[in-house]
Amino acid sequence: MSEVESTDPTTSAEAVLKATKTQLDKYINERIRDYETAQLCGRDLGSEWQIDFANFSVASFKKAGETDKLCNHLRSHNVYIAKGIASRMPSYMVVALKQP
């Protein structure tokens, strides 16, 4: 079992880059499910998301097929992610991760 399959939010950046699209999508979907179960929104959700995806890069978000789903979940629960051309979404996600 790879590090990403274990859904450990402290996964290394190297492991995230090596992960397959399927592994990344599974991780994203599990995080969304966790956020929904905990009924997180606003700053609480934003903080959890920053921790859970700290090791994701633009390349990781581009590789994943569920980036839009994650982005829509965050936006609908009061976490600001800039809107723009779909091809720029991974960049916007990384910028938002670095916000305080």
Per-residue DSSP letters for the chain?
--TTTTT-TT--HHHHHHS-HHHHHHHHHHHHHHHHHTT--HHHHHHHHHHHTTT--HHHHHH-S-HHHHHHHHHHTT-------GGGHHHHHHHHHT--
Q: What is the pLDDT of residue 18?
A: 87
pLDDT over 60 at 7, yes or no: no
Rounded Cα–Cα distance for residues 32 and 74 (Å): 9
* pLDDT at residue 5 tops 70: no
| Among candidate residues 68, 40, 54, the one with its CA nearest the CA of residue 8 | 54
Domain-wise residue ranges, the chain: 13-97
At residue 4 the predicted structure's pLDDT band, cuts being 50, 70 and 90, is very low
Residue 68 structure tokens: 């839009």
The residue among 34 and 4 whose pLDDT is bigger is: 34
What pLDDT, on the 0 to 100 scale, is given for residue 2?
39
With 90 as the cut, is the pLDDT of residue 17 above it?
no
Q: Is the pLDDT of residue 1 over 50?
A: no
pTM above 0.85, yes or no: no
pLDDT of residue 8: 54
